[in-house]
Amino acid sequence: MKVYITEEQELIMEPSLKWAANPNITVVVKAYGLKATIQIVDLQVFASPRITLKPLVPTFPCFAKILVSLMEKPHVDFGLKLLGADVMAIPGLYIFVQETIKEQVASMYLWPKTLEVPIMDPSKASKRPVGILLVKVVRAQNLRKKDLLGKSDPYVKLKMSDDKLPSKKTTVKRSNLNPEWNEDFKFVVTDPENQALEVDVFDWEQAWLPVGKHEKMGMNMITLRELPPEETKVTTLNLLKTMDPNDVQNEKSRGELTLELIYKPFKEEDIEKEDTESADVIEKAPDGTPAGGGLLYVIVHEAQDLEGKHHTNPYAKIIFKGEEKKTKVIKKNRDPRWEDEFEFVCEEPPVNDKLHVDVLSKASKKGLIHGKETLGYIDISLADVISNKRINEKYHLIDSKNGQIQIELQWRTS
């Protein structure tokens, strides 16, 4: 097999393909009201394909599409039997069939023509963290009264668009239409040209009250492309009923919300390894991150040989400094592959901290006695990833006979 090294984000391979078998394939041919059954035997295929995996991305399976071309005309040989007789023995037919197949296949796939097989959307696959958005919710003013017997109890929810992570929330300010929070939040940015910070203000209600769910007091958003990098921007947003610019309800005043924002993009550099055959591109955390802080990037790849007493529907729960994240649930699988990615923003290098990972199983049906059970856990010291920038290891699960889990960690610094 030939493998090419290129400057592009791609992997090119040229294997030698040889396949031979004696299949039992029958083809029914109808013509002029007559029907005949033809059997294909002694099939052989020799080809020299060029397989290109591109672009290479940080999300499993690590490439967005497959391109296949033939570097020379393929050799396809087979026999045809009709009523037990070898049809290919007819003079001239064998050569005619061979050349026809070669020409037809070559016209479609002979280099530089290609067969393109999309695997994943490259625009989404390549979205890795490119920066951090620092947000301070300062205050709100002139909020509208929502409670019948008193003032509102406002709080703010913040979320990045195109982000599957849960919204972040401020504290609740009781009976206050002009609350001050001065609370800080951090968001990982993957697409500063198209992402926006979505902001909603709600009136908190006791869960047992008959009025029901928390009522929205107003909303707005800030597109990240409006924010100059590395500069503090203080903005006051008019709260709206909806984000529809033609909605007449937006003409009614709903109050204002003041935010302080800083977008800090990462700087990318090649981190050379002692092994000269490879290098990892590790994004750097933004300049000005306090006390040498950065981004802890966690990829939960897979687990093996998990054993549940009552069910095996595994998922992993990652806990770092009280912040909890979960992978998806893989049903009825002792060897799950998650390939889920998580980020934790750190104020300082977590050299003395550990990452706690629980592997759990969740019952398929609710109401069972054994609704959830532990399949094992690990505690990973983060000192190694801080010094090496990246580690990718398999760990034996504690409290599991044979269970293992593979986790990749990256530390991105300023």
pLDDT in tens, 251-267: 788 899 999 999 988 76
CB 298 within 8 A of CB 409: yes
- Same domain? 280 vs 362: yes
CB 300 within 8 A of CB 405: yes
CB neighbours (10 Å) of residue 316?
27
Domain count, the chain: 3
Burial zone of 397 (CB within 10 Å; 0-12 exposed, 13-18 middle, 19+ buried) = buried
- Same domain? 152 vs 225: yes
Q: Are strands 323-326 and 279-284 parallel, antiparallel or unpaired?
A: unpaired
Q: What is the pLDDT of residue 315?
A: 95
- Same domain? 161 vs 287: no
Which of 124, 141, 159 is a domain's end point?
Answer: 124
Ordered DSSP codes for 206-233: -TTSTT-SPEEEEEEEEEGGGSPTT-EE
CB 188 within 8 A of CB 285: no
Threshold 0.85, pTM exceeds:
no
Q: Give the E-state strand segments of 313-353 in sequence order.
A: 314-320, 323-326, 337-346
- Same domain? 192 vs 139: yes
Contacts of 57 (CB under 8 A, 6+ apart): 9, 63, 64, 120, 122, 125, 126
The CA-CA-CA angle for residues 373, 375, 377, to 5°, reads 115
CB 307 within 8 A of CB 359: no
Cα 365 to Cα 335: distance, rounded to the nearest angstrom = 21
Q: Tokens 């995996």 correspond to what residue? A: 53
Four-residue CA torsion sign, 197, 198, 203, 207? negative
Helix (H, G, I), strand (E, B) or coil at 249: helix
Which of 265, 293, 312 is a domain's end point?
Answer: 265
The tokens describing 54, both together, are 């591109």
Q: What is the pLDDT of residue 110?
A: 79
Ordered DSSP codes for 60-110: TTSEEEEEEEESS--EEEEEEEETTEEGGGSTTHHHHHHHHHHHHHHHHHB
Per-residue pLDDT of the chain (414 residues; tens, 9 = 90+): 777 666 567 788 888 888 787 777 777 777 777 777 777 777 788 888 888 887 777 666 777 788 888 888 887 777 777 766 777 677 777 788 778 887 888 888 778 788 888 877 655 555 667 888 999 999 999 998 866 666 788 999 999 987 767 789 999 998 899 999 999 998 888 888 889 999 999 988 765 444 446 788 999 999 999 999 889 999 999 999 888 878 878 778 889 999 999 998 876 543 233 333 333 444 444 444 444 567 888 999 999 999 888 788 999 999 999 889 999 999 889 999 998 988 888 878 888 899 999 999 988 776 566 678 899 999 999 988 988 888 999 999 999 989 999 999 998 765
Q: Tokens 């029958």 correspond to what residue? A: 26
Cα 315 to Cα 268: distance, rounded to the nearest angstrom = 32
The tokens describing 1, both together, are 């097999």
- Same domain? 245 vs 344: no
Closest CA to 147 of 218, 207, 205: 205
- Same domain? 388 vs 313: yes
Q: Is 42 left (phi over 0), alpha (psi -120 to 50) or beta?
A: left
Q: What is the pLDDT of residue 65?
A: 83
Q: Tokens 């992997």 correspond to what residue? A: 11
Which of 216, 240, 265 is a domain's end point?
Answer: 265
- Same domain? 331 vs 250: no
Chain-centre distance of CA 288, in angstroms? 28
CB 217 within 8 A of CB 172: no
- Same domain? 39 vs 100: yes
- Same domain? 242 vs 256: yes
Closest CA to 57 of 142, 137, 125, 4: 125
CB 259 within 8 A of CB 234: yes
- Same domain? 136 vs 258: yes
CB 412 within 8 A of CB 266: yes
Closest CA to 303 of 378, 392, 394: 394
- Same domain? 409 vs 277: yes
- Find the domain containing 385 and state its range: 270-413
Ordered DSSP codes for 355-366: EEEEEEEE-SST
The tokens describing 277, both together, are 């055959």
Q: What is the CATH number of the domain that holds 371?
A: 2.60.40.150
The CA-CA-CA angle for residues 8, 11, 17, to 5°, reads 145
- Same domain? 152 vs 242: yes
